[in-house]
Amino acid sequence: MANPNGIGASVRRREDQRFLTGRGNYTDDFKRLNMTHAVHVRSPYAHARILGIDFADAAAMPGVVAVLTGADMEADKVGSLPCGWQIHSKDGSPMKEPPHYPLARDRVRYVGDAVAVVIAETREQARDAAEMVVVDYEELPAVGSSTRAIDGGAPLVHDDAPDNVCFDWHLGDKAAVDAAFANAAHVARIDLVNQRLVPNAMEPRAAMGEYDQSSGEYTLTTTSQNPHVTRLLMGAFVLGIPEHKLRVMAPDVGGGFGSKIFHYGEEAVVTWAARRVGRPVKWTADRSESFLTDAHGRDHVSHAELAMDADGNFLALRVSTLANLGAYLSTFAPSIPTYLYATLLAGQYKTPAIYAEVKAVFTNTSPVDAYRGAGRPEACYLIERLVDVAAGVVGMDKTEIRRRNFVPKEAMPYQTPVALQYDTGDFAKNLDIALPLVDYPGFQRRRAESKARGKLRGIGFATYIEACGIAPSNVAGALGARAGLYECAEVRFHPTGSVTVFTGSHSHGQGHETTFAQIVAERFGIPIENVEIVHGDTNKIPFGMGTYGSRSLAVGGSALVKAMDKVERKARKIAAHMLEAAETDIEVKDGRFTVAGTDKSLGIGDIALQAYVPHNFPLDELEPGLDEQAFYDPKNFTYPNGCHVCELEIDPDTGVTTIVNFAAVDDFGNVINPLIVEGQVHGGLVQGIGQALYENCVYDEESGQLVTGSYMDYCMPRADDVPSFTVRYHEDQPCTHNPLGVKGCGEAGTIGAAAAVMNAVVDALSDYGVTHMDMPATPEKVWRVIRDATPAMAAE
Amino acid sequence: MSCTVSMTVNGKTVSREVEERTLLVTFLREHLGLTGTHVGCDTSQCGACVVHVDGRSVKSCTALAVQADGADVTTIEGLAAADGTLHPMQAAFREHHGLQCGFCTPGMVMSAVDLVRENPNPTEAEIREGLEGNICRCTGYHNIVKAVKAGADAMAGAQATPVAAE
């Protein structure tokens, strides 16, 4: 490799120095002169009418600067939080889109809905005063689950959404699917729940608003994965502030996993309040608030059927899903159970006909939106559980039924029956790499050995494919996105040859400051130390759609390459001028510009200097400067794919599940930094394992109260709950349509892991007649299944 | 009600007038400006706030500042040498990619240092059990465990296992 810190090197992360020494700059770390602190007054009821708010006592508390309510926002003409995606129902009608105000006006619709904000000199004073605000509520009947929402006669979350339905949508060819089922030799069926999860980035959400009276400029510092999108949504739709008077910064952000994509009401509240009180206003969620108000993930109830011929070839897939959207539409909520879910239902299989129906409903719960994987884990889990059931129905080995139905690599590019066109993938190769990692032939021997020790051993496979690199703007637009989803980069050479890159992607753990710098160092043959990556500030970056959906490298990295192409074109012109050669005679390699066939050459540093200190440029043809920007709009999604295998052991006396081996084989296309990619896989796997074995966000169905509102009730995976992993990837199938050949790696682990673990759990329990278990497979649930299936024990 | 609290923090003597209810983490972050110590939960579960009080790891969200009156407190800002050289545990976290977003990292490193103080040569299982009070959402713990093992070796004076660029 030419550059020791170039593409393919496991460069140690440049951002680590500040994080390891306590010098990170997270939103709550910021302080401003005269800064005040905001604490929200939140509804304790899932559904209630607000009859009145008495804050006279609160306003008189020590240190209180202001108490503000929805009525104040209404008087200031503050708008509703907008939704960025529109879905149309089967009948062509648009989805129901009720208003979602930052502070509730007449009704509250979930526990945690904000009613008022108290602003005080210290956080403690604001909290004390918030407890003195008296809200007169008339409690209304609540809807705590999606199944209750569509139960005829359920209370209405929004009066203008009959039966609580937001949209009733479908995708695929129903007639073709019905015909295939009519001729099927076998049908596999499954009913499953993909339970609600709380994303739980370790840094709670926070936001600080500032207003400069002299210039009329607002600044919002916030925990965001996409500050430009927040600026656009909040400025244009909520507060009516033009972009040139609104700066949004997302400094160091402590994890997102989707939950920090969305524009939240608190961001608007602190920005608006900063002008009202004439001082900076900071709000930081405590963890309890995060549980109540961060957008949650998943929450599907599905029925699926797979038609097969006599040999186990898949003929058709039929899926019906009920999706819970919560009390209001979060920013991207409608896209998750539709275009990021149903379009992935082909999985890695050549199933010729697919039909999916999705009914999305409102409930009196926190809004639901993207959480790591966002629709794709739900699709993978459904397919891979169903394929295991199908293997049982036709009596085939679980690896063989998969192999038989894989889309062969020769069929690429492959048009699925659900809108997507996969560009590359070698699914059999993933499986071939995985099987030796888990010694599949030796499994039955290990199972017998476990049984001899009184333990139950299971092995589970999951293959996945995801659509990442979101998104080709024309496709996204056709699917209901209200904005294009390109990315932007600017590459600015400085006179002495160092480079600052401005990227619209945002790093909140992914290591862009290292990976993006590797790409630049490689291209121009310069030391990585000479490259600075700037992100997360709307005043510095031209524009950005942000980081989610494993898009940063595939879309943001491609924008970077496009900007570097422009820099190189300009540098070539400058070199030709300096070397008195024709532009076409200049050869470029690793940042050196050479006149072909001669020893006359210049480094990029020499060219950068001349670009900024020109004396005799032909100004009609050549401008000074070496600073280029590019917008990149992808031609297609990227399709990371892989095969995950989990082997585990269950103690039937306690129901405790222990993972004994986990192998992940992934195809992410080309890899820039293997160390970072493997780290992304590890983290993703544990979030998938967390869903399979531990995590469950529970609302009381009748009252709508959040039962799992803290780390003492919501089980986060800890170090001693999970194993170390065997992680492999191959680079044989690079993406065909972006310049780096990259596919994205951020969500893969989460997508494959939950299905692999649950298939292994069901396999371990197969002797008890178990063919399915809903997640999470907690010790109690597993123990009860074993007990109920054991007549002798049940009789006790 | 306020009171005077005095302690040594990262080798410097500090004294502040604070409300009696002030938590140690609030004292460090808000009164001393040492924002490397983080608050990730409100139930003493996540461990992002771990500091050393008289050499032992303590969840600073669960102690009052007055409880540390007179104590010797070390935060993540005080772990590296005065010349900026990273503590072996910090260096091991960097070398083995034991951090991503960095939010849990200060607490994780401080807990790991105390873990190794109690058990200089921990097994993987002992490391995992020892970090049970620290939640990380990014790394899946895999590289944290590797880092703590390497950090322990380095702290023992053994040659830290070099990891070549793969």
Q: Where exactly are the structural domains of chain B?
A: 2-78, 88-155
A387, A307 in Cβ contact below 8 A? no
Statement: residue B21 has pLDDT above 60: yes
pLDDT classification of A484: cutoffs 50, 70, 90: confident
The mean per-residue pLDDT over the stretch A354-360 comes to: 98
In B12-131, the DSSP E strands lie at: 12-19, 50-53, 56-59, 72-74
Q: Is the pLDDT of residue B163 over 70?
A: no
Question: B16 — contact with chain A (CB < 8 Å)?
Answer: no
Measured between beta carbons, the chain B residues lying within 8 angstroms of A711 are 41, 43, 45-46, 135
Q: What one-letter code names the amino acid at A17?
A: Q
Both tokens of A585, joined, read 């005679």
pLDDT class for A794, splitting at 50, 70, 90? very low
Q: Please give the share of chain A, as a percent, with pLDDT higher than 70.
A: 99
pLDDT at A58 over 70: yes
Written as one letter, the residue type at A516 is F
Over residues A530-555, mean pLDDT: 96
Closest residue to A202, CB basis, from B103, B124, B144: B103
The residues pairing with A134 across neighbouring beta strands, listed in sequence order, are A54
Report which of A584, A600, A603 is spatially closest to residue A592, judged by C-alpha positions.
A603
CB crowding A431-457: b at 16 or more within 10 Å, else e:
bebbbebbebeebeebbeebeeeebbb
pLDDT higher than 50, residue A547: yes
Same fold flag, B2-78 and B88-155: no
Q: Is the dihedral of CA A45, A47, A52, A55 positive or negative?
A: positive
Is the pLDDT at B160 greater than 80? The verdict is no
Q: According to the model, what pLDDT value does residue A312 have? A: 98
pLDDT, position A471: 87
End-to-end CA distance of chain A: give it in Å, rounded.
68
Architecture of domain B2-78: Roll (3.10)
Q: Residue type for A674, please? A: P
CA A101 – CA A104 distance, rounded (Å): 6
Q: So what's the pLDDT on residue A34? A: 97
User: With contact defined as beta carbons under 8 Å apart, do B49 and B39 qualify?
Assistant: yes
Q: Which long-range contacts (CB under 8 A, 24 or more apart) does A274-278 make?
A: A274/A209, A274/A210, A274/A211, A274/A218, A275/A211, A275/A218, A276/A66, A276/A68, A276/A72, A276/A76, A277/A36, A277/A65, A277/A66, A277/A119, A278/A211, A278/A213
Among A653, A660, A646, A649, smallest CA distance to A447 is for: A649
**Tokens describing residue A240:** 């009516």
Between CA A337 and CA B41 the distance in angstroms is 30
A478 has a pLDDT exceeding 90: no
Interface of B with A in 82-111 (CB under 8 A): 86, 90, 93-95, 97, 99-106, 109
Residue A135 vs residue B166, higher pLDDT: A135
Q: Is residue B102 predicted with pLDDT exceeding 60?
A: yes
pLDDT at B158 > cutoff 50: no
Instruction: Give the angle subtended at the CA of A387 by the CAs of A386 and A390, to the nearest 5°.
Output: 90
pLDDT bracket for residue B166 (50, 70, 90): very low
**3 state DSSP class of A443:** helix
Give the tens place of pLDDT for each residue, B53-85: 999 999 999 999 999 999 999 999 999 998 989
pLDDT of B165 reads 41
- A603's CB contacts (< 8 A; 6+ apart) are A497, A525, A591, A592, A593
What's the CA gap between A82 and A337, in Å, rounded? 18
Neighbours of A54 (CB within 10 A): 12
| Cα–Cα dist B30/B37, whole Å | 11
Do the Cβ atoms of B135 and A4 come within 8 Å? no
State the nearest Cα–Cα gap between A555 and chain B, in angstroms: 21
What's the CA gap between A685 and A73, in Å, rounded? 43
CA distance A102 to A237: 12
Q: What would the pLDDT profile of A244-279 be if each residue is shown by its tens digit?
A: 999 999 999 999 999 999 999 999 999 999 999 999
Give the C-alpha separation, A344 to A383, whole Å: 9
Instruction: Find out whether the peptide bond into A495 is cis, omega within 30 degrees of 0.
Output: no
| pLDDT for residue A540 is more than 90 | yes
Chain A environment of B141 (Cβ under 8 Å): 682, 686, 718-719, 722
Please indicate, yes or no, whether the overall pTM of this predicted structure exceeds 0.90.
yes
pLDDT beyond 50 at A178:
yes
Query: On the CB side of A601, how many CA atoms lie within 13 Å of its CA?
Result: 14
Q: How far apart are CA A467 and CA B149, in angstroms?
A: 37
pLDDT at A135 over 60: yes
Interface list for A 267-296 with B (CB within 8 A)? 286-288
Report d(CA A80, CA A77) in Å as an integer: 10
Query: In A, which residues are within 8 Å of B135 by CB distance?
Result: 202, 711, 716, 718
Give the neighbor-by-neighbor strand order of the sheet with A601-603.
Answer: A586-589, A592-595, A601-603
Q: With contact defined as beta carbons under 8 Å apart, do A25 and B37 qualify?
A: no
Q: Is the ipTM of this complex over 0.90?
A: yes
CATH number for the segment(s) B88-155: 1.10.150.120
Tell me how far the alpha carbon of residue A486 is from its chain's centroid. 17
Q: Is B78 helix (H, G, I), strand (E, B) or coil?
A: helix
> What pLDDT was estimated at residue A791?
64
Strands lying side by side in the sheet with A499-503: A531-534, A499-503, A487-493, A627-632
Q: How far apart are CA A267 and CA A720, in angstroms?
A: 37
pLDDT in tens, A715-773: 999 999 999 999 999 999 999 999 999 999 999 999 999 999 999 999 999 999 999 99
To test the contact with chain B by mutation, choose from A3, A17, A18, A21 the residue with the greatest count of B C-beta atoms within 10 A, namely A21
Question: What is the set of domains in chain A, with CATH numbers?
Answer: 31-140+205-284 (3.90.1170.50), 297-470+636-794 (3.30.365.10), 486-632 (3.30.365.10)
- Residues 698-727 on A with a CB inside 8 Å of B are 710-712, 716, 718-720, 722, 724-725
The alpha carbon torsion through A360, A375, A261, A361 (nearest 10 deg) reads 10
List C-alpha distances in Å: A368 to A199, A284, A393, A503: 11, 21, 35, 28
List, for residues A594-625, the tens digit of each pLDDT value.
999 999 999 999 999 999 999 999 989 999 99
Is residue A29 less than 8 Å (CB to CB) from chain B? yes
State the average pLDDT over residues A649-662: 98
Q: For residues A359 and A741, is the Cβ–Cβ distance under 8 A?
A: no
Distance CA A6, CA A2 (A): 8
